[in-house]
Structure 1
Amino acid sequence: MAHNPPPNEILTTDQMYLADDLAIKSGLDSFNLMQTAGLSVIRVLRKKWSRRRVLVLCGPGNNGGDGFIVASGLKNIGWPVKLGLLGDKVDLDNDALRASKLWKGEIQNLSIELLDNADLIVDALFGAGLNREVSGLARQVIETINKKRIKCISVDIPSGINGDSGQIQGCAINANTTVTFFRKKPGHLMLPGRSKVGDLKVVNIGIPNSVLGSIDVSINENNPGLFSDKFYFAGVDDHKYSRGHAIISGGDIMPGAAFLASMAARRVGAGLVSIVANMVSKAIYLSSNPGTMFIGLNKTIGFDMVVSEPRCTAFLIGPGNGLTSDIKSRTISSLRSRKSVVLDADALTLFKDNPSSLFKRINGPVVLTPHKGEFLRLFDVTGNKIHDTRSASKKSGAVVVFKGGDTIIAAPDGRVAINVNSPPTLATAGSGDVLSGLITGLLATGMPAYEAACAGNWIHGEAASHYGHGLIAEDIIDGIPRVLRSLY
């Protein structure tokens, strides 16, 4: 097996404060950590830009203290530096005050005029803990920086982004580069904040990894480290039935969705894949993809009979199925089996008027894959996508994949993965059907629901990223083997 990276822990702002505190209690000096952070910003800055006129914008907290370190360090090596402070120096305290004393130049009041002739901004106004709207002078300065498109490097996170949700608090700086410390925060990865971060650098400032043992970390950036030990690769003694049999529910009007999902399930490892649809659609489903089997439903053969077959290990209901009572019955039947089930599209919308009637039937390994519209039909939202997805998973009892450019995967036990490798080219018809097929195929092999959802999303994004522009859903399927080879 190829070496896979460990899970990438994501820390909330409170968890990052705790990590700092634990590091200090272990014997590290807080001011030395601040100095190391500031010097790290300088190293990143100098790798990207040559000597030029720099304006360092400092806020009143520790983020501003980092800015004072950056300003002092750049001035000491001969760079032309100006510094603007939001607020009054008398309001600085502790390490930020100590850092300000290292700056030997003039501390100017923050103003729009300070931006004149600045070639590069060091943004140290607000850190990841910002939880209020940016207003007044600070907002005017940020908006002017963005309007003038002045190059900018942000300390910790671009000012104006909520570090826990990625939401923009009124306005936020468009950074070219962001330097953060120890671990990423949700706001670095969640939209719309992620669009402001630019090139993200995570630097080590001396906080030991051992502090994570005292922090209840439940959010990770999705990568193979989350699922590789559960991934199924066929052995020499395997046969098609030992690799699982995935059942894809097919509709009578939109058969393409089932075709795409079934091909994805086959590509990712399911030993057998069958499309189950009404017998009237037999000719359509037998017209292509000869490796996919067809099971026709009629008065003699019902969906319950398919579900009861012991060798059928996973079911996908919803894509292209239609909003009919028949599809609702298939959904309920598959859930009753307590086998692995993926519900997408129509299978979710069918329960929009009474979501609890769906949730009460979830007692096995189930994955729900709603896009935003489908999510809103079933669950409450607060604007924090991580919180909302985690709450939805707990409420429904299923693993929930809240799809989008910042897909969130949440398990009922509180685990959360943020998937960020999906390119914009995935905004194409059928890509969601491929994703649901991937997850179903992985479930069919015996993979646990959360790991299957993480793996399916990661493979989906990687396959699309390798292809590039011009991507259509079928191309994702063709790219799956290349991604699997990288895992093996």
Structure 2
Amino acid sequence: MHSELETIVVTPEEMAGIDRAAIASGIDGYGLMEKAGQAVAAAALRLFPGCRRFVVLAGPGNNGGDGYVAARVLSDSGCPVDLYGLGEPAPGGDADCARQRYAGPTLTLGDYTPSSGDVVIDALFGAGLSRDLDASVCALIDRVNSLAVPVVAVDLPSGVDGRTGQVRGAAFQAQHTVTFMCRKPGHLLMPGRALCGDFEIFDIGIPGRIVSAASHHLRVNGPAIWRMSLPQADPSAHKYGHGHLAVFSGGPMSTGAARLSAAAGLRAGAGLVTLLSPAPATEVNAAQLTAVMLRQVDDIADLEALLGDPRLSAFVLGPAFGDFEKARAYVTALRGRPLVLDADGITAFRDRPEALFEIYAGGDGDLVLTPHDGEFARLFPDIAADPGLSKVERARKAAAHSHAAVVLKGADTVIAAPDGRALINANAPPWLATAGSGDVLAGIIGAHLAQGMPAFEAAAAGVWRHGEAGRRAGAGATAEDLITVLNGFDQI
């Protein structure tokens, strides 16, 4: 498979257009279905060579057609197969052709009783599902899941919305999913990602140019996206040549978050990092800092004096900062300077989010917002309240509205740029959900901004490196552990 197809993500609507374009170019539609069904059968035989019975559940559409092909191939291989159908394929279509080529009987879906030793081939609905399933289908799915019957899903586990990753009534918990040509959002967005099990993409022969032409700037986050924007090592460079990051500290009882950000920024490649501390917290911070420098900043006058130093190249504001009024004043003073706004820095604008957006509306400076769902709802209440939007769509709308790169955090973090580019991150292990993890992420992104990376690329690289640090640190890792295992640019 062409390497670019490994990163492309297309919506179900776009995938349908890709299929139509492939057929219009002269590619046989039934031939594509044959390749898809054969790939599913091959995966089932590879994973379950001693299966007592393969049970194929086939819907009326092309996903069901893939199931009919898989059933025929499995039967021709000498495997015991029972096929249960839901409705009839449209006469004369590719799915109908696949049904006619399958020699066995088509049993009624409602008559299937799951039993130990079955392996289910789920070909009921593909990624194009956009409605809630009927109650009878939900009941069948629940029976299969409750018995832990292994499921091989065709394209996407039935019940998962391919655009949003949400469950439409009920969804199979697949052990393995086989999809074709490239991923859909439902493969990457939660809870769909968790329901796919192990995952493979099979190339059924649609030219990469057709797939690329239909995709709209949605990719899986990875180094191929932003590697060219990484800072280049210069043997003659001094510490200021690697950027100077400044991180704002909270008060004396809440200094740890900012120190985590500062330490992460230094480890992530910033040449210098300075912690900007209010006077009551300076002694606490001084006792804990070594390589990170310390400077007292108590008010807007102190900050404006500091901003006279052109060598300060990026800022992180928000981790446990506490003082919302001061946070708003500081952001205004930082207009035009690269800034990561996190946690309390975001919440500070919950009553007047437009005031924040206006500061960066001119396009001067790079702003990165790093909200979790709760903070996102405070800053973008109208977008968050729209149930019809996927997480990707929410992040894209927020980025366009705020003139910022938006990192909508979670197990399926989405990074979006104001120009519509978006990435879904897929390398973060579940144990990254630990205290201080977000502070570390803010520091990594801040280091990238300090070294001159554009906001979107800085955010994307930061999210990916954060995930890799979690993988390296292993289960049970703390935020401090993440910092110690951050990989260098030369290892990306």
- State the TM-score bracket (shorter-chain normalisation): over 0.9
Q: Within the alignment, does 1:401 sit opposite 2:407 as a pair?
A: yes
In the alignment, is residue 277 of structure 1 matched against residue 283 of structure 2? no
| CA contact 1:5–1:223 (8 Å) conserved in 2 | no
Any conservation in 1 of the 2:115–2:149 contact (CA below 8 Å)?
no
Over residues 10-55 of structure 1, what are the superposed CA-to-partner deviations in whole Å (9 max), with x where a residue is unaligned? 1111111122122222221000000000001111111111142011
Aligned ranges for residues 235-314 of structure 1 at < 5 Å?
235-252=234-251, 253-298=253-298, 302-314=302-314
Compared CA separation, residues 6 and 198, structure 1 to 2 (3 A): closer
Q: 1:213 to 1:178 in 2, by over 3 A?
A: closer
Determine the structure 2 residue equivalent to 1:377: 378
1:116 Cα offset (Å): 4.2
Structure 1 10/350 Cα, relative in aligned 2: closer, same or farther at 3 Å?
Answer: same
User: What does residue 95 of structure 2 align with?
Assistant: 96
* Distance in 1 (alpha carbons) for counterparts of 2:424 and 2:171: 22
The percent identity for this pair of structures is 39
Cα distance in 2 for partners of 1:388, 1:62 equals 30
Matched with 2:455 is: 449
Per-residue CA deviations over 1:254-303 (Å, capped at 9, x if unaligned) read 11111110111111111111011212322122112311111112579611
Aligned pair 1:439/2:445, yes or no?
yes
Residue deviations 1:82-102, cap 9 Å, x none?
11110135x454000000011
Tell me: CA distance 1:174–1:358, structure 2 relative to 1, closer, same or farther (3 Å). same
The more displaced of 140-149 and 156-165 is 140-149
Query: What TM-score, normalized by structure 2, do the two folds share?
Result: 0.94
Specify whether residues 302 and 117 from structure 1 end up closer, same or farther in structure 2 by C-alpha distance, changes over 3 A only: closer
Q: Is it true that 1:356 corresponds to 2:362 in the alignment? A: no
Moved over 3 A (4+): 4-7, 298-301
Distance 1:299 1:103 in 2: 76
Aligned residue for 1:132? 131
Task: Tell me which amino acid in the other structure corresponds to 1:63.
Answer: N
For the Cα contact (< 8 Å) 1:83–1:107, is it kept in 2? yes
CA RMSD of aligned residues (A): 1.7
CA distance in 1, matches of 2:4, 2:249: 38
2:332 equivalent in structure 1: 332
SS in 1 for 2:67: helix
Shift of 1:7: 7.0
In the alignment, the residues of structure 2 paired with residue 116 and residue 436 of structure 1 have an alpha-carbon distance, to the nearest angstrom, of 50
1:112-162 deviation per Cα after TM superposition (whole angstroms, max 9, x unaligned):
534346610000000111110011321121111111111110100000001
Partner of 2:83: 83
Kept in 1, the 8 Å contact 2:8–2:215? The answer is no
Q: Distance in 2 between matches of 1:465 and 1:166?
A: 24
CA contact (8 A) 2:5 2:182 kept: no
Tell me which residue corresponds to 2:342.
Answer: 344
Query: 1:366 aligned to 2:367?
Result: yes
**CA-CA distance at 1:166 after TM superposition:** 0.2
For residue 307 of structure 1, what is the amino acid of its counterpart? L
Kindly indicate whether residue 424 of structure 2 is the aligned counterpart of residue 418 of structure 1.
Answer: yes
Mapped partners of 2:14, 2:372: distance in 1: 29
1:281 aligned partner, one-letter code: A
Shift of 1:434: 0.2
Q: Give the paired residue count.
A: 480
1:39 aligns with 2:51: no
Kindly indicate whether the alpha-carbon contact (under 8 Å) linking 1:5 and 1:224 is maintained by their aligned counterparts in 2: no
Q: Which amino acid aligns with 2:121?
A: V
**CA distance in structure 2 between the aligned counterparts of 1:6 and 1:200, rounded to whole angstroms:** 15
Name the amino acid aligned to 2:435. A
CA distance in 1, matches of 2:367, 2:82: 57
Unaligned runs of 5+ in 2: none
Task: Report if the CA contact (8 A) 2:436-2:479 is conserved.
Answer: yes
Instruction: Give the distance between the partners of 1:300 and 1:267, measured in 2 at CA.
Output: 29
Cα distance change of structure 1 residues 6 and 286 upon mapping to structure 2, 3 Å threshold: farther
Amino acid in structure 2 at the alignment position of 1:87: G
Deviates more, 1:341-350 or 1:375-384: 375-384
* Residue matched to 1:466: 472
Q: Is the 8 A contact 2:261 2:443 kept in 1?
A: yes
TM-aligned CA deviation for residue 485 of structure 1: 4.2
Distance 1:410 1:416 in 2: 4
Change (3 A) 1:179 1:289: same
Moved more, 467-476 or 44-53: 44-53
1:105 alignment partner in structure 2: 104
Most deviating of 277-286 and 52-61: 277-286
**Runs of 5+ consecutive residues of structure 1 not aligned to the other structure:** none
2:31 and 2:132 mapped to 1: Cα distance? 31
Q: Which deviates more, 59-68 or 228-237?
A: 228-237
| 1:160 equivalent in structure 2 | 159
Q: Distance in 2 between matches of 1:239 and 1:394?
A: 37
What amino acid does structure 2 have at the position aligned with 1:433? Answer: D
Counterpart in the other structure of 2:72: 72
Whole-angstrom CA distance in 2 between matches of 1:117 and 1:243: 60
**Amino acid in the other structure paired with 2:376:** F
